[in-house]
Amino acid sequence: MSTQRGLGSRRRLLLGLGAPLLLGAAGLGYAMWPEEENAEKARTDLAPLNRRFWTALGDVSDAHWLGYSIDEHESESNSARSVPSPDSRMRLVGVAHLKQGTANRIMSDPAHHFEVGPLVGPPAALKPYIPSSAGWKQSVTYDKVALEEGLDVIPSGTFRFDGIRDLVYFDYVFLYT
């Protein structure tokens, strides 16, 4: 009977020490676990957007956006190695507020015919910042003239505007040659 009593004490001691150690190790493992590889965090700095889009939009505020090299982004998702591209493709995608009345002023320009243009597949990191009830409108002609080609930049993409909230959603790819 005394051997059983000693065995029970040992079990309680091991359980008393082992459980906190096991919980601590599990917590440490969770804290050190790498984040999901494709989880991107939206940027909020305005200077790069205002430099890039100022002539088309004026100053923007309260922006949430992503900017990345498409070539690097694609190579990270593909395990096969490839020859690097001589050109660099940068994607800027996000949503921002415009100065009051800017969206309606842009959409009322008779040179551009704006039509309803819902967003299709915005990045997951931006979805919390995009109002689900926004009435997005786009114009193919506005997109063509808004960002004229520079000597070293060839843009393609789209702007979408919500006149009620003075919001702009932009999704542009710039090819640097």
Q: Do 114 and 76 share a structural domain?
A: yes
118 plus 64 within the same structural domain = yes
Q: Does 39 fall in a domain?
A: no
Let me know whether 127 and 88 are in one domain.
Answer: yes
Cα-Cα-Cα-Cα dihedral of 39, 81, 89, 47, to 10°?
A: 40
Tokens of 120: 């299709």
Q: What are phi and psi of 27, to 5 degrees?
A: -65, -40
Residues 64 and 123 in one domain: yes
- Full residue range of the structural domain in which residue 84 is found: 47-176
- Give backbone dihedrals phi and psi of 78, rounded to 5 degrees, phi first: -105, 135
Report pLDDT digits (tens) over 35-81: 444 457 999 999 999 988 888 899 999 999 999 887 665 544 444 44
Position 101 in a domain = yes
Residue 40 is predicted with a pLDDT of 75
Q: What is the mean pLDDT of the chain?
A: 78
Model pTM above 0.75 = no
The answer as to whether 116 is a domain residue is yes
For residue 20, what pLDDT is reported?
A: 59
**Does 11 reside within a domain?**
yes
Neighbours of 137 (CB within 10 A): 20
Q: Are 21 and 72 within one domain? A: no
Number of domains in the chain: 2
**Residue 42 within a domain:** no
Answer yes or no: is 40 within a domain. Answer: no
Q: What percent of the chain has pLDDT over 90?
A: 44
